[in-house]
Amino acid sequence: MLLVLDIANTNIKAGMYDGEELKATWRIFTGVQRTADEYAVMLSNLLKYEGIDFKDIKKGAMSCVVPPLLTTFNELFERYFHIEPLIVGPGIKTGVRIRYPNPREVGSDLIANAAAALHLYKPPIIVVALGTATAFAIVSKGGDYVGGVIAPGLGISAEALYTRTAALPRVDLTRPKKVIGDSTQAAMQSGLIYGWIGLIEGIVSRIQKELGEKATVVATGGYAGIFGKETKVIDVVNPNLTLYGVKVIHDLNRE
């Protein structure tokens, strides 16, 4: 079996592949202070719940945008699985041509998203990753990664309203019944949810105009489920896109 990890700023998403089948996924909080042993205990319990033993894991791959955790998870793979994981990054085959002056600037998660999208959908493609940041990855008709857009994420913006003001409360990130809020909480929810809908629609519209053609818009990330239902510009919601991309890149480099 192949264990794939998407190590992001807020959460670590793990997936277990048996061949082409995604057997299980888990999400745990990202903690840079945790040790390899602590993460191993968490993974062990999650695997046991699905009837999977450590010995079943023969291969590993990961995307990581939290540099201190690269060492932690390398140690975990080596100590507990006795394997060297593939790390999405410079020097490996991705199946994606990156049209940047400095390709190393592109985050490994965005590369994984583009690799997965090219396997699943017809380009041009706009991948909208709705997580800690709101990141747009643009793949041209020719299959090239031509650029992106990065904006603040919904969660950190909501937290900023709470922590940087004296009277505004912390709110649940759910859609209010109407745009015009009749309470402070409803007004904040409206600004956050409908504000992000406007952000997504506006940026996608401008990207489509620059591309000069209709692109397939794929949403992924922790908040994808919220916005996939709220705007018609999103064509597909794929919550496991990054995990699949890590698998695709792993398979390319292990052929």
Backbone angles phi, psi at 233, to 5 degrees: -75, -20
Q: What Å distances lie between residue 174 and 47, 121, 188, 199, 230, CA to CA?
A: 31, 29, 10, 17, 11
Which residues on neighbouring strands pair with residue 136, listed in sequence order? 128, 149
Residue among 109, 144, 172, 182 flagged as catalytic:
109
| Known catalytic membership, residue 251 | no
| Other beta carbons within 10 Å of 45 | 10
The residues that are catalytic are: 109
